[in-house]
Amino acid sequence: MAYIHPTPSYEYSDVFIVPNHSTITSRKQVNTEVQLASPNSDLSLSIMVPAISANMDTVTGSKMAIALWEAGAIGALHRFNSIPEAVEEFLEVQRAQANCFVSLGVNSNWQERASALYEAGARFFIVDIAHGHSSMMENTVKWLRSRFGRDIFIVAGNIGTSWAVDSMKNWKVDAVKVGIGGGKVCLTKNVTGVVTPMFTTVLECSQLASKWGIPVIADGGAREYGDVAKAIGAGATAVMSGYFFAGCPESPCVGGTTEKGEVIYRGMASSEAAVKVRSTDTLPTPEGESIFVSKKPSAKEVVELLKGGLQSAYSYVGATSTHEFRENITFGIRGR
């Protein structure tokens, strides 16, 4: 029988950060560094700015990943290419003495892809599917852990509930990627009716994940730099975004540039993306779309803007670190 959850759920735009007393005289006193670490892996990752570019073919290739690493953030290479292409993209990042995430699906040749990327030196993996709380995800994560042990770091997603976090813990993932239907070019909520409002999703998933030392990556729904601060304050270790980085000069240019200087930004469940990655005439109902976005500043400049917004947010509540920010923060709910 159908059930309605009695507690309201909120998007980032529904809440605000309440200012608090501060002794900070300059945002330079604020440290935004975070660490992705897990009890299931011998590996960890520190980034100076908690931002990850989305693993989408119009957002992150090797150039974006290198630029983000040099700026103090990190990129996630997409999986919508051949295995040799994926390996070469990773090696380009490695040759630049940078690091990045690599991505896997759960269908077709994912085991071969995982092994090839591991042999090339990749250790930070994202298992990336639309509905991560599934037996397909469970089987994939368990195979990766059995094959590579503690010598890889596994991010699994996407999920949208705290009980999915509980399952992920039992599958021995190292971090969870949360958020369903919130992306700028995601149509899941329109096509299926399924969505998890991002602020509540991050808050509830983080509250449970923190008990087991599992980092949460908030994926999608951030439209403004202040939304990143809200996600971090709600418990996310980092925020993944395609929208912030699509259109940067380092992002892959798919389909050229319009007369207005706009470029394509597309969801990986869009019809256009499906045509690229599927060798069949029967395409699924699209849960993503393609849009044109204006050219943006360099990835480094975007990261600096994100960092500056975070530092200011921290200072507004008297915090010099992410830990203090979460300890000091109070959220309010906007009136209707």
Closest CA to 307 of 65, 45, 30, 63: 30
Residue 4 domain-assigned (yes or no) = no
206-218 pLDDT, tens digit per residue, is 999 999 999 999 9
Q: Which residues contact 264 (CB under 8 A, 6 or more apart)?
A: 58, 254, 255, 272, 290, 291, 292, 293
- The pLDDT confidence band at residue 335, using thresholds 50, 70 and 90, is confident
Q: Which residue has the tokens 């994100």?
A: 306
Question: Could you tell me if residue 11 is inside a domain?
Answer: no
Number of structural domains found in the chain: 1
Q: Are 70 and 98 in contact (CB under 8 A)?
A: yes
Per the model's pLDDT, the better-predicted residue between 28 and 226 turns out to be 226
Look at residue 275 in the predicted model and tell me its pLDDT: 47
Domain for residue 7, yes or no?
A: no
The yes-or-no verdict on residue 273 having pLDDT over 50 is no
Q: Looking at the predicted structure, is the pLDDT value of residue 287 above 70?
A: no
Summary mean pLDDT of the chain: 92
Report yes or no on 228 lying in a domain. yes
**136 part of a folded domain:** yes
- Phi, psi (rounded to 5 degrees) for 293: -125, 150
Higher pLDDT, 264 or 77: 77
Give the Å distances, CA to CA, from 5 to 2, 31, 101, 206: 10, 38, 35, 19
Residue 286 has pLDDT above 80, yes or no: no
CA distance linking residue 195 with residue 192, whole number of Å: 9
| Residues near 232 by beta carbon (within 8 Å), at least 6 away in sequence | 50, 239, 310, 322, 325, 326
In a domain, 3, yes or no: no
Q: Domain containing 274 — which CATH number?
A: 3.20.20.70
Query: What size, in residues, is the chain?
Result: 336
Q: Which of 20, 53, 15 is nearest to 313 (CA)?
A: 20
Assigned domain for 5 exists: no
- Residue-level pLDDT at 191: 83
Asked if residue 102 is part of any domain, the answer here is yes
Residue 267 pLDDT > 80, yes or no? no
CB of 41 closer than 8 Å to CB of 156 = no
Distance CA 160, CA 216 (A): 11
Segment 118-174, tens digit of pLDDT: 999 999 999 999 999 999 999 999 999 999 999 999 999 999 999 999 999 999 999
Q: Could you list the active site residues?
A: 186
Determine the pLDDT at residue 131: 95
Could you tell me the CA-to-CA distances from 294 to 105, 106, 168 in Å, in that order? 30, 33, 38
Report the DSSP beta bridge partners of residue 17.
331
What letter would DSSP give residue 221? -
Q: How far apart are CA 172 and CA 327, in angstroms?
A: 28
Point out the least confidently predicted range of 34-43, 55-64, 265-274. Answer: 265-274
302, pLDDT greater than 60:
yes
> pLDDT higher for 17 or 271?
17
**pLDDT tens profile 168-205:** 999 999 999 999 988 777 878 788 889 999 999 999 99
pTM of the model: 0.93
Average confidence (pLDDT) over 255-260: 66
Q: For residue 271, name the pLDDT band (cuts at 50, 70, 90).
A: very low
What does the pLDDT average to over 63-79? Answer: 98
Domain that holds residue 48: 16-333
- pLDDT above 80 (res 109): yes
